[in-house]
Structure 1
Amino acid sequence: MNTPLRRVATVMLVMFLALMGSATWVQYVQAPDLNADSRNVRTLYREYGNARGPIVVAGEAIAQSVKVDDPFGYQRQYTDGELYSAVTGFYSIVNGSSQLEHAANDQLTGRSDQLFFSRLRDIITGRKPEGAAVETTLLAAAQRAAREGLGDQHGAVVAIEPSTGRILAMVSTPGFDPNALATHDSAAASAVYAELAAADGNPLRSNATLETYPPGSTFKLVTAAAALESGEYDASTTLPAPVTLDLPQTTATIGNFGGGGCGSNPITLADALRVSCNTAFAQLGMDVGDDALREQAERFGFDDASLTIPMRVVASRFPQDPNAPQTAQSAIGQFDVAATPLQMAMVSAAIANDGKLMRPYVVDRVRAANLSVVSQTEPEQLSTAVSPGTAAQLTDMMVGVVESGSGTAAKISGVQVAGKTGTAQTSSEAAPHAWFTAFAPADDPQVAVAVLVEHGGSAGSEATGGRVAAPIARAVIQAVLGS
């Protein structure tokens, strides 16, 4: 009789252990995945049932949760939604979230470990839980200047405070209205998402951080930096500057913009940058070598796939193992060189900051619902991109670009602007991209900016970086300095 009882007891014990193990697995191991599953309606009701924290610019909420009379309880509402869409992204019951709404979700919902004591206080006092406020580094005036400058053109603008890495403006066009995705009408939200996903220019994807482009002649800053850092060149070093440069190992050639010369041959490095001489920089790139160019690019932040602001940023890239002709093309920002507008703003910001590259960030601080500060972003140096001496030489050379070179459209009365133009070829069928990157004031930098206008914008095939992008950069700089 004891044997059958022992067998039944053993089976029951095994079943009990299996039940406990299964429950433990679901409740503890699988819990994060189950909570994150978009099909989990309980998670949606729990998130929407509490007030999600606001996203704030200069004390004003640009995204906040408002009380609504439906089963969800709260709905996300965006002020100037299209203006800030590249930063806030969207928060949707059927389409998930993007950009800062996604990257700062734990803070906005109140689930972050930083908010543990706030949650504990809510439990003790019986107060309804609220998410934290995420205060951004953006300047509204700079954001508006960037958006108005781009107008109906597709492109992006990023402005950074060089000494800290604070992002002062980040605009991507075409943008979108997040309110249309925040609706609790699932069918309507899905329809809007599908329409935006199929729209020309992919408004849902930020051109500022999630798309890369050939940087064209703005990359000559990196090439010049590599040359200066080698110790074998300075601003007065002369370079060959033929009308056409014959490339080795091929019958291909490189010419200058418009098919002409660069004013003199040979030409100083400073003047080559001032007039954006392709042939001089292509030869310089081959002389310096692809390894030095790649190392220099990486010191400016290229090929860093780990960068977040806290939103994800795609890595800018310099090609691996290019041959001599490809190195010549790479030295002028063509071939397989690709950069985000954020990356080119980082290049200018590092030069402006005596060669020190600061980590860019868009979240200044996080405040709990009782307004106590639970986290504050502290400036952090990413790398030493160039020496202070090289930064000083590059600054003088960039001032020359704006004072009497290809970037005169960026001039500001009473303010010395340091800049570099770029006109990047994409294909024989498409107009070139127009670029401009700059910082100001040159002797006390407060802002570094990069502007990209896709395929020349309204100027089309007649576009140049100096004509199309430089005036937008000037407006953003003026907005920052005037704020």
Structure 2
Amino acid sequence: MNISSNIRKLTLFFVALFLALSGGLVYWQVIVAGKVTANIHNGRPCLASNAPVRGRIFDRNGVLLAESKPANNVCGYLRQYYEPSLAGVIGYYISPLYPSTGIEHTYDDYLSGRVGLTSLDNIVNKTLHRPPIGDDIYLTIDVRIQRLVNKHFDDPIPIVPGETFATNRGAVVVTDPHTGEILAMVSRPGYDPNKLVQTIGHGDLSFYNQLLKDPSQPLLERPVQQTYSPGSTYKTLTLIAGLDSGKTMLSQQFNKDEARGPIFYNGQAFGPNGNNIDGYTLRFPVNTEYGFTHSDNIIFAQIGVNTGADGWLDYNKRFLVGEDTPFDIPVAKSSVLRNGQPLEKNELAANSFGQGYDSITPFEMSLIDDAVANDGQLMQPTLVAKVLDRTGSPLLTTTPKPLGSPQMSSQTAAQVRQAMFGVVRCGSGSVVSQLFTSSAGIIGKTGTAELGGGKAAHSWMITQAPYSVSNPTQLPALTIAAMKENGGEGGAVVGPMIAAMYNDIFSNNYVKAQLPTPPDANYCCQTGLLQRGCPGF
């Protein structure tokens, strides 16, 4: 009997067994570890960050918006959401097995209780099989304002054949421009976050797949994640750039040919189509303020070109167009360039009245609106007011802070507010009786973004209130930026619902503000912002 041969064979057997075991460990713990961890039937991740003690989410006044409730699923608990219209803002959290979105994702370290834990805390928790306790988040959202904004989004649109169209897709952002706090943010269409969490939490992806395939894209948080052609609302940016750089004044004169067109840049004609002042402009010259009031594309093409591409782009950059926007949830980049290429004069002209390469989020339009309302200084936008641990001790408190240097002088901001007053009182917004007659003192800029291809235009309006033309140093307390996809003529589609929002907010004292006295009934005629129907015309 050859003992050495047997020992050698036994040794080789154990070596082979060791290699097989090592290979198995490498395969399961390295190669496919991610798949194993992500498997919905693997409950082990729940042991480290259990849903029962995940932090709650409240609005600014302490109204409960989200919490965890017992459920018969792998982790034993599921989130419960109490304001579905905030689905895109709060997002959703199912368990450690699935990705999260919105505030649930951005502030997961707080909500899951990982912030502030020491090594000793971890040892104690593991020894006692006790998960960490999540922290509570208080949003800047006022759920009372959120609900009324969401309600008024469904107000009937006055249908004018060929001009306005029924639509349920769009976005609204309501902001305190002096603090940067977001008071309401609505995205339509939305989805039921509770149904989403409940179905996925039990391993059923059918509802999620249904939402993914829906052509109306309910999972898309339109205020921050979708860019659009802004139409004439972008004349506000061009007016800011022109006034602040000294390239135009509200009183700058334009004769008939300059105001109506055609004018030519690089062989491209601008006007007379699209001048927007034919039919009720009876005498020339007219000025920049008149052009803004009545949304004249031809005048604003010239203001943009006279400002110059470098100057105009500089003011875009001041509002973070093309840049990352610091915010509590991800924001898509707005853009005004074609593949980053320099703007030719004809391209700058079209961009200057919002019908070129401009591709802008509703949130970006809100930022421009906010800076004007806050006398030229944009504040850091925020959704989270504070984070408290379960004892009530503050872990994070946000305070208002400027976002960079002033985007424009206070004089420029005051002139833009004056021009926005003219829009609602005398111009493209005055046809909306709800805006014109509101006691809230609403000012704004309308926009109708033409898309071509037989598609109805996007409907836009950026607004501020209250504004007093007799006391222009009193700054508006609130801004509302709103748009509806493919709704048609901007002011007619979104103006009525915006007026209803302001009226409800101020009448219920959700935002306290001193409402202005009604302006002089002859303001438009006296200032020359209106001609037809005025004495002497």
- Bin the TM-score by the shorter chain: 0.7 to 0.9
Indicate the residue corresponding to 2:391 in structure 1: 370
Give 2:329's aligned amino acid.
M
1:137 and 1:117, CA in 2 relative to 1: closer, same or farther beyond 3 A? farther
Distance (Å, rounded) in 2 between the aligned partners of 1:118 and 1:235: 66
Structure 1 residue 402, shift from structure 2 partner = 1.2
Query: Is the 8 Å Cα contact of residues 51 and 66 (structure 1) preserved in structure 2?
Result: no
SS in 1 for 2:464: strand
Partner of 1:80: 83
Partner of 1:422: 447
Letter of the aligned partner of 1:393 in structure 2?
Q
Change (3 A) 1:413 1:335: closer
Distance 2:171 2:485 in 1: 8
1:148-159 alignment, distance < 5 Å? 148-151=151-154, 153-159=168-174
Tell me which of 239, 247, 256 is aligned to 1:224.
239
1:297 aligns with 2:316: yes
| Aligned-partner residue type, residue 499 of structure 2 | R
Does the CA-based 8 Å contact 2:259-2:296 persist in structure 1? no
Aligned counterparts of 2:223 and 2:79: Cα–Cα separation in 1? 24
Corresponding residue to 2:299 among 260, 280, 284: 280
Quick one: distance in 1 between partners of 2:182 and 2:196? 26
Pick one of 189, 200, 204 that aligns with 1:174.
189
Question: Aligned to 1:200, which of 203, 210, 215?
Answer: 215
Q: CA deviation at 1:117?
A: 10
Matching residue of 1:394: 416
Q: What is the aligned counterpart of 1:313 among 331, 338, 343?
A: 331
Matched with 2:91 is 89
Cα distance change of structure 1 residues 122 and 237 upon mapping to structure 2, 3 Å threshold: farther
Distance in 2 of aligned mates of 1:425 and 1:238: 27
In the other structure, the counterpart of 1:47 is 49
The CA distance in 2 between the partners of 1:41 and 1:91, in whole Å, is: 16
Q: 1:376 to 1:276 in 2, by over 3 A?
A: same
Question: More deviation in 141-150 or 173-182?
Answer: 141-150
Query: Does 2:469 align with 1:454?
Result: no
Preserved contact between residue 355 and residue 385 of structure 1 (Cα < 8 Å):
yes
Partner of 1:246: 263
Judged with a 3 Å threshold, the aligned counterparts in structure 2 of structure 1 residues 101 and 192 are, in CA distance, closer, same or farther, namely: same
Give the conservation status (yes or no) of the 8 Å contact 2:66–2:82.
yes
Give unpaired runs (5+ residues) of structure 1: 1-14, 457-462
Q: Distance in 1 between matches of 2:237 and 2:276?
A: 23
Distance 1:130 1:259, change over 3 A: same
Q: Structure 1 336/62 Cα, relative in aligned 2: closer, same or farther at 3 Å?
A: same
**1:212 aligned partner:** 227
Once structures 1 and 2 are overlaid, which stretch shifts more, 71-80 or 116-125?
116-125
Q: Once the 2 structures are TM-superposed, how far is the Cα of residue 96 of structure 1 from its aligned partner? A: 1.9
Which of the numbers 343, 367, 372 marks the counterpart of 1:322?
A: 343
The alpha-carbon distance between structure 1 residues 116 and 250, as it changes in their structure 2 partners (threshold 3 A), is: farther
User: What residue in structure 2 maps to residue 5 of structure 1?
Assistant: none
Q: For the residues of structure 1 that align with 2:57 and 2:217, how far apart are their CA atoms? A: 24
1:407 equivalent to 2:407? Answer no
Answering whether residue 498 of structure 2 is matched by residue 473 of structure 1, we say yes
In the TM superposition, what whole-angstrom CA distance separates every residue of 1:85-139 from its partner, at most 9, and x where no partner exists?
Answer: 12111223465211111111111111124x6599579859967532111110111
| Structure 1 contact 256–262 (Cα < 8 Å) conserved | no
The TM-score with structure 2 as length reference comes to 0.77
Supply the distance in 1 between the matched residues of 2:216 and 2:311 (Cα, whole angstroms): 35
Per the TM alignment, residue 407 of structure 1 is displaced from its structure 2 partner at its CA by 1.5
Q: C-alpha offsets along residues 320-339 of structure 1, whole Å, 9 cap, x if unaligned? A: 41111111110011211111
The one-letter code of the counterpart of 2:349 is A
- Structure 1 residues 304 and 116: CA distance shift in structure 2, 3 A: farther
Percent of residue pairs bearing the same amino acid type: 31
Relative distance call for 1:374 and 1:260 in structure 2 (3 A) is same
Partner SS for 1:356: coil
Q: Is the aligned partner of 1:105 residue 2:113?
A: no
Cα offsets for 1:64-84 (capped at 9, x unmatched) = 101234441211111132x11
Q: Does the CA-based 8 Å contact 1:341-1:452 persist in structure 2?
A: yes
- Residues 118 and 56 of structure 1: CA distance in aligned 2, closer, same or farther (over 3 Å): farther
Rate the CA distance shift 1:293–1:417 in 2: closer, same or farther, 3 A.
same
Q: What amino acid is the match of 2:389? A: A
Aligned residues of 1:118 and 1:368 also touching (Cα < 8 A): no
Contact 2:70 2:78 in 1 (8 A): yes
Structure with greater Cα Rg: 2
CA RMSD of aligned residues (A): 2.9
Deviations 1:116-172 (A, max 9, x none): 599579859967532111110111222122212222610000011111100011010
Give the 3 Å change call, closer, same or farther, for CA 120–423 of structure 1 in structure 2. Answer: same
Distance in 1 of aligned mates of 2:210 and 2:492: 33
Whether the 8 Å contact between 1:439 and 1:445 is mirrored in structure 2 is yes
Work out whether residues 134 and 366 of structure 1, in 8 Å CA contact, stay in contact via their aligned partners in 2: yes
CA–CA distance in structure 2, aligned partners of residues 56 and 160 of structure 1: 18
The 1:407–1:281 alpha-carbon spacing in structure 2 relative to 1, beyond 3 Å, is same
Q: Distance in 2 between matches of 1:467 and 1:330?
A: 23
Aligned to 2:158: none
What secondary structure, in the 3-state scheme, does the structure 1 residue paired with 2:48 have? helix
Which position in structure 2 is the counterpart of 1:444? 475
- Aligned position for 1:12: none
Matches of 2:444 and 2:123 in 1, distance apart? 52
Does structure 2 retain, via aligned residues, the 8 Å contact 1:262–1:275? no
CA contact (8 A) 2:260 2:275 kept: no
AA partner of residue 469 (structure 1): V
Distance 1:46 1:386 in 2: 50
Maintained 8 Å contact 1:76/1:182: yes
Give the match's secondary structure for 2:317. helix
Contact persistence 1:122–1:128 (CA under 8 A): no
Distance 1:116 1:149, change over 3 A: farther
Give distance in 1, aligned partners of 2:36 and 2:133: 19
Q: Structure 1 residue 341 and structure 2 residue 372: aligned?
A: no
- Which runs of structure 2 are paired with 1:123-134 in the superposition (5 Å)? 123=125, 129-134=132-137
1:253 Cα deviation after fit:
3.3
**Structure 2 Cα separation of the partners of residues 139 and 390 of structure 1:** 31
Contact 2:173 2:184 in 1 (8 A): yes
Contact 2:51 2:68 in 1 (8 A): no
Measure the CA separation in 2 of the matches of 1:327 and 1:262: 28
